Structure 1
Amino acid sequence: MAVTLRDVARLAGVSSATASRALDPSASAATETRDRVMAAAAELGYIGNTVARSLRTSRTDTIGLLVPDVRNPFFTDLAYAIDKAATEVGLTVMMGSADEDGDAQDRYLVALERHRVDGLLVVPQGGPRPMLQRIVRAFPTVAIDRDADLGVPVVSSDSGGGMRALIDHVISLGHRRVAVVAGPQSTSTGRERLSAAREQLREHGLCLAPGDVVEGDFQLGSGLRAARTLLAATPPPDVIIAADALMALGVLTVLRERGLRLGTDVGVAAFDDNPWFAVLDTPVTVVAQDTARLGRQAVEALLARIAGREVEPSPVPTTLVVRSSLGEAARHGDPHFTPAARTKEDIHG
């Protein structure tokens, strides 16, 4: 027997009208009420009328794509790759950018529900929020980049392998004091990259002290703040690793403000590549993700789910791109190279 809106309202202890408003992020509802109603809908597996109609009709040849922040170069490239892969198989992509905000994610999910997309590709914001849980019960869904325990296939890069390769490279250059601008620990990618850095440093007999890690949010501002915090330490780090390109840009900006030489005074590396990283005076060493392959694999996985087939995607390999921002040029010319000696005044400006 189908679950109705009245069932949801009864479980949540509200009227049907209140439940309807709470399930519509564009309508007014108290936060506590909205959370209670969404939790009830998720528990009962409620599918709204719009979704129920879509399940009874033919395909629309449209899929939804929800990314956290279209300003982030990685997600821009990923969205492009997904659109190209979808076009090749006759699909149209409707995209939303949630700005790393769970409430914005909910609003876009409702919009995609109303447009009756055939399936959904989503980079989840944080954990398994009630609205997202409800939607994945109603639509074939594939998660990309982040695993939010939704019980759906996850297409992602081998973040752990990429970070381990980067740490090995950093240590091979003679660096010992490593700091990390970590991604948000509410995301699986943020946790995986930081955990891999810790574990691989331990393999080399080193560790990340509490002051060597600053949690960011995969956006520029947090990279700026993290760099200022890390460079205030005594002694400052030899190397700062940023868990994404935007936070790396923040670190590079602070180094430039303080007149510090990239790769000589402080080494910087990033997880994620960007075209302009290669054309800086000191090109930036990165762990590059294969966005084209991620996009193709995500679309293929979603098509399988739409067809009712189970899929278990394998992590997409990453590539360590060695340039000069960790002092590689100096190391190449001198087999006994060690990071340049620096005073507190040099670093703090």
Structure 2
Amino acid sequence: MSPDPSTRSSGRPPTLREIADKAGVHISTASRVLRQPEPVDGWSDSAQRVRQVAEELGYQPNLWAASLRTRKTTTIGVVMPRLTDGVVATMFGGIEEAATAAGYSVLLSSPPDDLDAQRKAVEFLISRQVDGLMLSSIHLPGTDFVSSLPIRSLPVLLLNRHIDVGLPYVSGDDRRGGYLAGRHLLDCGYRDLGVIAGPDHASTSRERVAGFRDALAEAGLELPPHRIVASDFEVEGGVRAATQLLSTSTRPDAIFTVSDTIAIGVLGVARDLGLSIPDDLALVGYNDIPVVSQLPVPLTTVRSPARKIGATGVQNLLALMAGRSVESVKLPIELIVRASTRYQTSDSSIPN
């Protein structure tokens, strides 16, 4: 319904006094009614009349004034680099869905994955008076970084990555995921294994590699240092690392990468070197981004519950904001076997 221009000055939003007068109620009644985000069943006729008049006049609540009264902005701040990454974007989708369902808005800052940029992002979000904060790209060891942030009593939750600084976190069970990848390659019969790791400051990378090593140690095997190559989480990083691992006469017969984007880079290098997947080289990724099931050779990978990580993070942050204690959570993961690995026909027994 269009606003009634005869009730107020042109171009000026209606006041509570104008709404109360036209609805025939006291101004305190109008204020109380309009502070409710949605109509409540069983409201009186006068309350319903206030809502109707407010709609007729085009009334919009002053959220800033309301936040000054309540000291709440119903806004969650999120620091999340690499939003162009499919996994990160899916995680953020889970955050937005859960926050919206709870009546909260999300204020996102997506800085580069370095400490100075992230500190500025946190300071920016705090200056916007967010009610809680989620950090998804914390660096190991991270103690000095966290202690330097002006978070004071602001509820803070770590997402995806985590460090030992007493803050609760929500992540996938990355060590278990690395273990499943290693165990699968061993069960398939592969023995000469390589790993392309992510940045050393990322707990996700460290734990996935550690889990992979766990699987080998369980089988009485070790991963030689020269078979682990560091990378970033990008395709180009996978290309550089794969070139180092594969451009020798003693290349591995299987590679585990700590992200699917790295694995895509490996596939490009294997193609350029004339290597067949999985006949010449088996490959396991991590995260199960949608594209990897549609590759010419579909990728075996570890599926990370990215959307659920985001949604669970919001639920736990809201609990912190309500003053409740929250335990850290590692969500279960799943190995998805596709054509980039296959079981060998030769004797591939390993110790149980």
Q: TM-score range by the shorter chain?
A: 0.7 to 0.9
2-structure distance, mates of 1:227, 1:132: 34
Q: TM-score, normalised by structure 2?
A: 0.75
In the alignment, what sits opposite 1:213?
228
2-structure distance, mates of 1:68, 1:208: 31
Is the contact between residue 106 and residue 132 of structure 1 (CA under 8 Å) also seen in structure 2? Answer: no
What residue identity is the alignment partner of 1:104?
Answer: A
2-structure distance, mates of 1:126, 1:318: 23
In the alignment, what sits opposite 1:47?
none
Q: Runs of 4+ in structure 1 displaced over 6 angstroms?
A: none
Moved more, 279-288 or 63-72: 63-72
Change (3 A) 1:121 1:56: farther
In the alignment, what sits opposite 2:78?
65
Q: 1:101-120 alignment to 2 at 5 Å?
A: 101-120=114-133
Change (3 A) 1:205 1:234: farther
Q: 1:177-216 alignment to 2 at 5 Å?
A: 177-216=192-231
- Deviation, structure 1 residue 168: 1.2
Q: TM-score, normalised by structure 1?
A: 0.76
In the alignment, what sits opposite 1:227?
242
Q: 2:185 aligns with which of 166, 170, 173?
A: 170
Q: 1:273 and 2:273 equivalent? A: no
Is the contact between residue 148 and residue 187 of structure 1 (CA under 8 Å) also seen in structure 2? Answer: no
Is the contact between residue 260 and residue 292 of structure 2 (CA under 8 Å) also seen in structure 1? Answer: no
CA deviations on 1:216-259 (whole Å, 9 max, x unpaired) are 12222221110000002331111111101221122122122223
In the alignment, what sits opposite 1:285?
300
- Deviation, structure 1 residue 132: 3.7
Is the contact between residue 182 and residue 213 of structure 2 (CA under 8 Å) also seen in structure 1? Answer: no
2-structure distance, mates of 1:321, 1:231: 25
Q: 1:44-193 alignment to 2 at 5 Å?
A: 57-127=70-140, 128=142, 130=144, 132-133=146-147, 134-193=149-208
Is the contact between residue 68 and residue 101 of structure 1 (CA under 8 Å) also seen in structure 2? Answer: no
In the alignment, what sits opposite 2:64?
none
Change (3 A) 1:286 1:135: farther
Q: Which runs of 5+ in 1 are unaligned?
A: 1-53, 339-349
1-structure distance, mates of 2:137, 2:292: 27
1-structure distance, mates of 2:317, 2:76: 9
2-structure distance, mates of 1:181, 1:89: 39
**Cα RMSD (Å):** 2.0
Is the contact between residue 109 and residue 132 of structure 1 (CA under 8 Å) also seen in structure 2? Answer: no
What residue identity is the alignment partner of 2:236?
Answer: G
2-structure distance, mates of 1:292, 1:164: 22
2-structure distance, mates of 1:168, 1:240: 13
1-structure distance, mates of 2:318, 2:338: 38
The 3-state SS of whatever aligns with 1:277 is: helix
Change (3 A) 1:67 1:138: same
Change (3 A) 1:56 1:142: farther
1-structure distance, mates of 2:153, 2:267: 44
Is the contact between residue 67 and residue 98 of structure 1 (CA under 8 Å) also seen in structure 2? Answer: yes
2-structure distance, mates of 1:140, 1:113: 11
1-structure distance, mates of 2:345, 2:202: 39
What residue identity is the alignment partner of 1:242?
Answer: T
2-structure distance, mates of 1:218, 1:65: 20
2-structure distance, mates of 1:210, 1:187: 19
2-structure distance, mates of 1:180, 1:55: 53
Length, aligned pairs only: 280
CA deviations on 1:118-165 (whole Å, 9 max, x unpaired) are 101111341426564324434111001111233210101111111111
2-structure distance, mates of 1:81, 1:178: 35
